[in-house]
Structure 1
Amino acid sequence: MTQWKWESTGDEVVEAFKEIVKGKTIVITGPSQGGIGSETAAALAKTSPSLLILAGRTESNIAPVMARIAESSPDVKVKFIISPSAAAEINGMVTTIDLLINNAAIMACQYSKTEDGIETQFGTNHIGHFLLTKLLMDKILAAGAGSRIVNVSSSAIRGNIRYDDYNFQDGVAYDPWLGYGQAKISNLVFSRALARKLKSKRIFSFSLHPGSSTPGAANL
Structure 2
Amino acid sequence: MSAFNKSTSGADVVAAFPEAVQGKTCKRPMSTWTWCLLTWAIVVITGPSAGGLGAQTAIFLAAGKPAEILLLGRTESKATSVMEEIQKISPSTKVSFIHLDLTRFDSIKFAAAEIKKLVSKIDVLINNAGIMGVKEYTLTPEGLESQFGSNHIGHFLLTNLLMPSIETAGRGARIVNVSSNGYQLSEVRFSDYDFDNGKAYDPWHAYGQSKTANILFTVSLASKLARKGISSFVVHPGAIYTNLGAHVEMSEWATVGKMFNDRGYPSVGINKNLAQGTSCILVAALDPSIESNYLSDCAIEETPDYAHNTELAQKLWALSEEIVGEKFQL
Q: TM-score, normalised by structure 1?
A: 0.96
Residue 255 of structure 2 aligns with which residue?
Answer: none
| Partner residue of 2:163 out of 125, 132, 137 | 137
Which SS does the other structure have where 1:177 is aligned?
helix
Who is 1:8 aligned against?
8
Tell me, yes or no, if structure 1 residue 32 matches structure 2 residue 14: no
Query: Does 1:196 find its partner at 2:223?
Result: yes
Shift of 1:212: 1.7
1:95 maps to 120
Q: Which amino acid aligns with 1:92?
A: K
Matched, 1:60 2:105: no
Greater CA deviation, 8-17 or 157-166? 157-166
Q: Which of 53, 58, 61 is residue 44 of structure 1 equivalent to?
A: 61
1:141 positional shift: 0.6
Equivalent residue letter for 1:172 = K
2:202 aligned with 1:185:
no
- Give the AA of the match of 1:116: E
How far is 1:187 from its partner? Answer: 0.4
1:127 matched to 2:153? The reply is: yes
- Where structure 1 has 5 or more consecutive residues not aligned to the other structure, the ranges are none
The one of 117, 133, 138 equivalent to 1:112 is 138
For 1:121 and 1:43, how far apart are their aligned partners in 2? 28
Contact kept, 8 Å, 1:152 with 1:208, in 2: the verdict is yes
Tell me the CA shift for residue 214 of structure 1. 4.1
Contact 2:67 2:92 (8 Å CA) reproduced: no
- The alpha-carbon deviation at position 142 of structure 1 amounts to 0.8
SS where residue 150 of structure 1 aligns? Answer: strand
Q: Deviations over 1:28-57 (max 9, x none)?
A: 001111000011000111101111000001
Distance in structure 2 (CA, Å) of the matches to 1:212 and 1:2: 21
Whole-Å separation in 2 of the counterparts to 1:214 and 1:167 = 28
Code of the aligned partner of 2:3: Q
SS of 1:106's equivalent in the other structure is coil
Structure 2 counterpart of 1:107, one-letter code: M
Unaligned runs of 5+ in 2: 23-39, 101-106, 247-330
> CA-to-partner distance for each residue in 1:11-37, whole Å, 9 max, x for gaps?
000110111111201100011110000
| Amino acid in structure 2 at the alignment position of 1:54 | L
RMSD between superposed Cα atoms in Å: 1.1
Q: Report how far residue 152 of structure 1 moved.
A: 0.2
- State how far apart, in whole Å, the 2-side matches of 1:31 and 1:18 are: 22
Mean Cα displacement is larger for which, 36-45 or 70-79? 70-79
How many residue pairs get aligned? The number is 218
Per-residue CA distance 1:196-218 (angstroms, 9 max, x = gap)? 11111110000000112242336
Deviation at 1:5, TM superposition (A): 2.4
Measured against aligned partners, the alpha-carbon deviations of 1:148-202 in whole angstroms (never above 9, x if no partner) come to 0000000123111111221111111011110100100000000011001111111
The amino acid of 1:124's aligned partner reads: S
Q: Which letter does structure 1 place at the counterpart of 2:5?
A: K
User: Residues of 2 paired with 1:5 and 1:186: CA distance?
Assistant: 25
Q: Which amino acid aligns with 2:49?
A: S
Match of 1:161 in 2: 188
| Other-structure match for 1:211 | 238
